Structure 1
Amino acid sequence: MKILNIIGPGRLGKSLARLAQQSGRFQIGGVYARSAEHITDAITFIGAGEFCSALDQLPVADLYLLAVPDGAIENVAIELAACHIVKAGNVVFHSSGVSEAALLAPLQDSGAYLASVHPAFSFADPALAVASFNAIPCALEGDPLAYDILQDFVLALGGKPFTLVKGGKAAYHAALTMAANYLVTLADLSLKTAKMAGIESDIAQSLILNLMQQTLSNIRVLGPAAALTGPIVRGDEATIEKHLSVIKDATILRCYQSMGQATIDLAADHLSKPKQAALHQRLA
């Protein structure tokens, strides 16, 4: 059984620690945070772990998880390196979505394998996260020598590990941001546009969100191009012109135009070159 030390037991850190402990394949060693209250709360939630009020109190371990904010990763790595507790062959990894394992470079001389693991999942509520963490994709990046251990770690949590190409972390996180955050924004803009039609809020919610859910299901089954419907894939300039004429909000208009331009490219197999050019011009 491998021992895992937790540095920064916030919502993500303590969720992963509890999943690891519950797996029976990993044992939680030390738990360290700046606040004694946070350490105590985390140990209670995890159901295991040794209270460590300083980094140099962390016990001998196989893995070290730095679940701290991105801006703190490098400084914590410097402090951890100064303690000389990380040994050759250990795996030290952080959980940032956008930052690479290079932030752990201060630990390079220790001989440890440095990496990052990012679950594409929301840890807003740790108890709910632990209960629903099943087959969640988890991105691995960094030293390939760490991958075997980290793949076992992710599988023990109930996740599905996959690796990113070198330098691919930022693009990976941008993709998640568009898929999750911008989907929320798109729903908000769609609801605001529905309000322009005088549709009551509860009806608009049902109308827009049900359509989004149906579309997501179609994308899952058919893929984006085959799931595409609407005026652009039909080359219907007249309908697009009517849309543009009634959208008075500048932000919504810019989003409609830019998303429309991208949709023309997605629908290219269904449109002649002249029609594509005409649609691009209409949405310019």
Structure 2
Amino acid sequence: MNSISIIGAGRLGKTLARLAQGSGRYRVLDVMTRRLESARAACEFIGAGRPVCDWAQLAPADLYLLAVPDAAIADCAQALAAAGVVPPGAVVFHASGVSESGMLQPLAARGAHLGSLHPAFSFADPERAAEYFVDVLCALEGDAPACAALRTLAQAVGGRPFQLATGGKPAYHAALSVASNYLVTLTAMAQELARQGGVPVELLTPLLSGLMRQTLENALALGPQAALTGPIVRGDASTVALHLQAMDDAGLRAAYQALGRQTAALAGERLSEPARRQVLNALEPAEDSGR
């Protein structure tokens, strides 16, 4: 049975530790936080572990998870390396979505293998997260021994691991942000435009929800290009121009123009070259200069 220690016992750290302990394949050894009380509380949630609050107190383990904010990863890696407690051959990893294992580099000189494991999952409620962490995609990155160990860990806790290309972490995380955060922003944009058009507030959700759900399902099932409909793929430049004329907010107009250009590119051969030029001309920011 492999041992694992957790540095930082926030929602993600203590949930993964609880899942690892519950798998029967890992033993949670130490749980380290800045305050002993929070380490004790995390150990109680995990159902195992020894609470510590000093680097020198950490016992040798097979795996170390630095479950700390991105801005603290490098400093924690330096402190862990300086403590001299990590045995050669141990795996040290973090769970950042955007940062790579290079942030842990000081530990390589101690003979540790370095990696990262990022579950594409929300840990807002640790109790619910531990219950519903099933078949969750987990992005792996790092050196070969670390990735092998993290693949085993991910599978043990209920994840479905896959490996990212070297240097791929920022683009991977940007994809998640676009798919999640920007979808929310697009919803807000659509609601604002509908309000400007006179749609009653109580009808905003009924008006948009069915269309948005159907469109998302089509894009995922058919692929984005096949699912694309609307004035841009039809080459209807006059409608695009009318849309822009209706927008008094410069930020909203700029977002529409940027997304319109991306949509014209996505349309590909479905949009003839003359129609593409007309649409792109209608989307030109220069047309906003007199507003």
Which residue in the other structure is 2:44 paired with? Answer: 44
- Are the counterparts in 1 of residues 235 and 278 from structure 2 also a CA contact under 8 Å? no
CA RMSD of aligned residues (A): 1.2
Which residue in the other structure is 1:214 paired with? Answer: 214
Equivalent residues in 2 for 1:105-254 (5 A)? 105-254=105-254
Q: Structure 1 residue 276 and structure 2 residue 270: aligned?
A: no
What TM-score, normalized to structure 2? 0.94
Indicate the larger mover: 115-124 or 127-136.
Answer: 127-136
- Are the counterparts in 2 of residues 43 and 50 from structure 1 also a CA contact under 8 Å? yes
Which residue in the other structure is 2:56 paired with? Answer: 56
Aligned residues: 284
The amino acid across from 2:68 in the alignment is: V
- Are the counterparts in 1 of residues 238 and 282 from structure 2 also a CA contact under 8 Å? no
| Separation (CA, whole Å) in 2 of partners of 1:157 and 1:174 | 25
SS in 2 for 1:219: helix
SS in 1 for 2:102: helix
Which residue in the other structure is 2:288 paired with? Answer: none
The amino acid across from 1:90 in the alignment is: A
Give the share of equivalent positions with the same residue, in percent. Answer: 50
The amino acid across from 1:10 in the alignment is: G
SS in 2 for 1:51: strand
After superposition, the C-alpha distances for 1:33-90 in whole angstroms (9 at most, x for unaligned) are 0022321221121111111121221222110000111111111111111121111111
The amino acid across from 1:181 in the alignment is: N
Q: Structure 1 residue 13 and structure 2 residue 18: aligned?
A: no
| Separation (CA, whole Å) in 2 of partners of 1:227 and 1:24 | 45
SS in 2 for 1:267: helix
Shift of 1:133: 1.6
| Separation (CA, whole Å) in 2 of partners of 1:189 and 1:15 | 35
- Are the counterparts in 2 of residues 187 and 209 from structure 1 also a CA contact under 8 Å? no
Shift of 1:275: 1.1
Shift of 1:207: 2.1
Unpaired stretches in structure 1, ≥5 consecutive residues? none
- Are the counterparts in 2 of residues 7 and 67 from structure 1 also a CA contact under 8 Å? yes
| Separation (CA, whole Å) in 1 of partners of 2:34 and 2:242 | 57
| Separation (CA, whole Å) in 2 of partners of 1:224 and 1:109 | 46
The amino acid across from 1:91 in the alignment is: V
| Separation (CA, whole Å) in 1 of partners of 2:37 and 2:199 | 49
After superposition, the C-alpha distances for 1:122-167 in whole angstroms (9 at most, x for unaligned) are 2122122222222221111111121111101111121111111111
| Separation (CA, whole Å) in 2 of partners of 1:172 and 1:207 | 32
User: Measured at CA, do residues 83 and 98 of structure 1 come closer, stay the same or move farther in structure 2, by a change above 3 Å?
Assistant: same
| Separation (CA, whole Å) in 1 of partners of 2:150 and 2:230 | 44
| Separation (CA, whole Å) in 2 of partners of 1:253 and 1:210 | 24
Which residue in the other structure is 1:265 paired with? Answer: 265
Unpaired stretches in structure 2, ≥5 consecutive residues? 285-291
The amino acid across from 1:163 in the alignment is: Q
Shift of 1:209: 2.8
- Are the counterparts in 1 of residues 5 and 31 from structure 2 also a CA contact under 8 Å? yes
The amino acid across from 1:110 in the alignment is: R
Shift of 1:114: 0.4
| Separation (CA, whole Å) in 2 of partners of 1:163 and 1:151 | 9
The amino acid across from 2:171 in the alignment is: A
| Separation (CA, whole Å) in 1 of partners of 2:277 and 2:67 | 49
